[in-house]
Structure 1
Amino acid sequence: MQAISDIEQLAEYTAELEDLSKDLAVQNVSYEPWILCPILKASGVNRKFVFVLIFDSPSDDRTRLIGFFPFERVVLHHLVPLSCLRLWADPFNYLNARCDPLIRKGHDYCIEVLLDWFAQEKTHADLINLRGLTDGTSIVRSLTSSLSGKKRLEHIESTIESHLYRRHVNADSYINAVLSKRSQQTLRRYERRLRDLGTVEYADVDECLDIEQLIDEFIDLEDQGWKGKQGVSISAYGHREWVKQLLLDAHSRQRLSLLTMRVDRKLIAARCVLFSKPGSFLFKLTYDEKDIYAKRSPGLLLEFEAIRRMHSDQMMLGHEIDWLDTCSSPHSPIFSRSRSEGLKVRRFIIARSGSVAALAIAMSPYAARAEQLMNGCTRWVRQKVKALTS
């Protein structure tokens, strides 16, 4: 086992990480080195990292990487200055908070190794936050089993729900399962109204002659919408060049889908997905927000075109693909309508028994409730003051 803190030093293990990524217990494209390293470099200013690498020694005496846990060292709360190792999550929400560590199939005992390392106080951290873990996986089962058998550690856990597309027998079966007849009629009406504006065409990267131009169009379209206005688009972050290179790299690896909708050749909506077979992960969805297009729901129409393609082995989105993780927030209006099922994402905050940190996490549910009450009181006071002064 090795713990390093330098991004450049992590890059020395690229070959080992690439090999590990080919044989994972749980897929997580955001921790694969060709994606992780560029985002780390873009976000790494004033951040402190701890990268835990766990090795095996097979009979031929060559070490083999079997586990990878990228942590960021943070303070639990500005009022509770306890140090915490938190599984790293992309701060720009390109792949929203998917934090399943890279563990080789059949080596879930890496979780036990990690917990022993933390319990022995070698981390110089008071807490460890294993967040963004997909529920129902061998990693979560191993973690819950290990925690139940360790009296030296205490923990609290919580769950949120995201959105998953899981392939059905065919596209009609999927759509009938997620949309009522009335909603399907509404969707067809949106498409007819869109076709009134011109010829509607869908295409993916395998139908594109100039991938660089397509990526530029995609980035520009996002920047023209609300994300650009609020300073959270790829261009607004100043990430155009490295994100473009990342998507070109994904394309060269045959792991990129960039499905587009055009009306009379004008780009109206685009949807970027990264493959990690048998699954896939949504990178970004964007569409033209002008009223003439937005009221025809181009984003939702593009999602259901993607769902149709997901059910065709002849299409990029369907070839050897069984599911798509939307990597979205629980309240997304588009994905809550188009998902086939909820995807539970779990978080475990762990402390050593008898420590101040253990007391802090034991009190955290009460602190959260107190904060809610304080926020409620603050809103009530503001409303009263506003009523008196208006």
Structure 2
Amino acid sequence: MVDIAHQAAINPASAKDVAKSRALVPLIALDTGQWRALAQRAIEPNGYYLPAWELAVSATARGRTDAAALAAFDAPRLIGLMPVISLWRAWKIPLPALVSAHPYGTLCSPLIDRDAPIEAATRLFQQAREAGAHALVLNDVALDGAAMNALNQVLSRDGLKPRILSSYIRASLDARQDGETLLRDALGAKKLKELRRQRHRLEEHGPVVFEVARSPDEIGPALENFLQLEASGWKGKRGTALIQHAGDATFIRRAVPTLAETAQCEIVTLHAGTNPIAAGIVLRHQDRAFFFKLGIDERFARYSPGVQLTLDLTRHLCADPAIASADSTASADHPMINPIWRGRFAIGDVLIPLRRHDPVVALVHAALTGLNAAHETARRVVRRLRK
């Protein structure tokens, strides 16, 4: 490879392009062993940036392929990783900024080495600058999480201030509590009695059994049950079920068994007799679980199968000493999960300037503010039409 300094003397523009190409690398070019080791040392868990998951997303998932990476090294160790795409690719905005590459799953907190958080954050920002970016846009990050805290420390040191573009509060589970006590405190005796009554009615269709598939042999059939349940409900009617799109189906069939090999994914299923009536995919990273998706058989809707499954999942996670908390990865005010999982944390989109007094950052902020306003107007119109 031609040395950058030598190439600069011959062709400055070309050398700049070479420097940019070194700053941003394809995700598939990263050493997966280094990536897995970083995930084990990450200051904050993020199951959606585990290599088996994110590589499957970037290789095949609809609209999410070919992400690049900002990668921070303390040679030879990987100490920071932030999957990204350009602002143009994200929203067709022609400004020099990078946006967190959105995995399937609403969490984009970067992986930062707990043994070197400040150095990792510093080098990630430097890589972004070398890639030509004037700003970073981090979508769906835990605003008070350890990863964002490390980024904020470096920004404060450098006299830079992030801007929160939007935020909401998301449900989580404190799995260190006794499951039965937690459910009684969350739902109350009257609601639990009604749910037990529904479960007894459900038993008329056969024994109600909660199953957890963990091994690669178990998880394949469980995944197919989940995909069929998801497609049979409202997601299938809207055309958003995973199995309805070849790339999405390929991604999930690749990611789930691979993660199961390292005990980082399980599928929970509720059966009524021979019928699977509800199923969910759960990722595991360090001491945190991530409730990815839920599918139900709507023929059994009167028995609240999604709630019944979530009650059993809550007991399951609370009984597991390896799990301290669980992220619902749900939207704000989710009607099913919020009454059950009463923990809360803030999720938001953050604009990070990479240079002081940079007018480009103001342009990026204005463009994103206008885009958010347009999206909110569109959502209000859609809600009215549905009514």
TM-score, normalised via structure 2 length: 0.82
C-alpha distance 53-74 of structure 1, shift in aligned 2 (>3 A)? same
Shift of 1:104: 1.4
8 Å CA contact 2:278–2:306 kept in 1: the answer is: yes
Per-residue Cα deviation, 1:205-258 (whole angstroms, up to 9, x for no partner) = 269975422222221121111212222112112133442232222222222221
Residue identity opposite 2:26 in structure 1: D
8 Å CA contact 2:68–2:85 kept in 1: the answer is: yes
Residue identity opposite 1:85 in structure 2: L
Q: Is there any run of 5+ residues in structure 2 with no aligned partner, and where?
A: 1-18
CA distance in 1, matches of 2:249, 2:376: 42
Shift of 1:369: 9.3
**Which piece of structure 1 moves more, 298-307 or 189-198?**
189-198
Cross-structure match for 1:329: 331
Shift of 1:364: 6.7
Supply the RMSD in Å over aligned alpha carbons: 3.2
C-alpha distance 288-37 of structure 1, shift in aligned 2 (>3 A)? same
Cross-structure match for 1:299: 306
C-alpha distance 310-25 of structure 1, shift in aligned 2 (>3 A)? same
Identity of aligned residues (%): 21
Structural mapping, 1:167-178, within 5 Å? 167-178=175-186
Cross-structure match for 2:340: 338
Shift of 1:73: 0.8
CA distance in 2, matches of 1:286, 1:175: 22
Cross-structure match for 2:208: 200
Per-residue Cα deviation, 1:53-107 (whole angstroms, up to 9, x for no partner) = 11114xxxxx1111111111123997953232011112xxx422x1111111121
Shift of 1:37: 0.8
C-alpha distance 308-86 of structure 1, shift in aligned 2 (>3 A)? same
**Which piece of structure 1 moves more, 37-46 or 19-28?**
37-46
Q: Work out which of the residue numbers 7, 29, 33 in structure 2 matches 1:15.
A: 33
CA distance in 1, matches of 2:62, 2:372: 33
Quick check: 1:282 aligned with 2:291? yes
Shift of 1:149: 3.1
C-alpha distance 265-7 of structure 1, shift in aligned 2 (>3 A)? same
8 Å CA contact 1:274–1:281 kept in 2: the answer is: yes
Cross-structure match for 1:155: 162
CA distance in 2, matches of 1:8, 1:79: 24
CA distance in 1, matches of 2:332, 2:101: 20
8 Å CA contact 1:21–1:32 kept in 2: the answer is: yes
**Which piece of structure 1 moves more, 320-329 or 352-361?**
352-361
Q: Is there any run of 5+ residues in structure 1 with no aligned partner, and where?
A: 58-62, 313-317, 384-390
Q: Work out which of the residue numbers 227, 252, 256 in structure 1 matches 2:261.
A: 252
8 Å CA contact 1:82–1:127 kept in 2: the answer is: no
**Which piece of structure 1 moves more, 233-242 or 26-35?**
233-242
CA distance in 2, matches of 1:213, 1:366: 45
Residue identity opposite 2:24 in structure 1: I
8 Å CA contact 1:49–1:73 kept in 2: the answer is: no
C-alpha distance 360-254 of structure 1, shift in aligned 2 (>3 A)? same
Shift of 1:373: 10
Residue identity opposite 2:261 in structure 1: S
Cross-structure match for 2:73: 55
Q: Which has the higher helix share?
A: 2
Shift of 1:365: 9.2
C-alpha distance 356-69 of structure 1, shift in aligned 2 (>3 A)? same
SS of 1:339 mapped into structure 2: coil
Cross-structure match for 1:6: 26
Cross-structure match for 2:360: 357
CA distance in 2, matches of 1:370, 1:243: 33
C-alpha distance 5-43 of structure 1, shift in aligned 2 (>3 A)? farther
C-alpha distance 78-85 of structure 1, shift in aligned 2 (>3 A)? closer
Cross-structure match for 1:130: 138
Residue identity opposite 1:254 in structure 2: A
CA distance in 2, matches of 1:252, 1:263: 28
Per-residue Cα deviation, 1:165-186 (whole angstroms, up to 9, x for no partner) = 1124311221122112222222
CA distance in 1, matches of 2:216, 2:80: 38
8 Å CA contact 1:51–1:68 kept in 2: the answer is: yes
Cross-structure match for 1:386: none
CA distance in 2, matches of 1:163, 1:49: 28
**Which piece of structure 1 moves more, 258-267 or 238-247?**
238-247
Quick check: 1:86 aligned with 2:106? no
8 Å CA contact 1:83–1:125 kept in 2: the answer is: yes
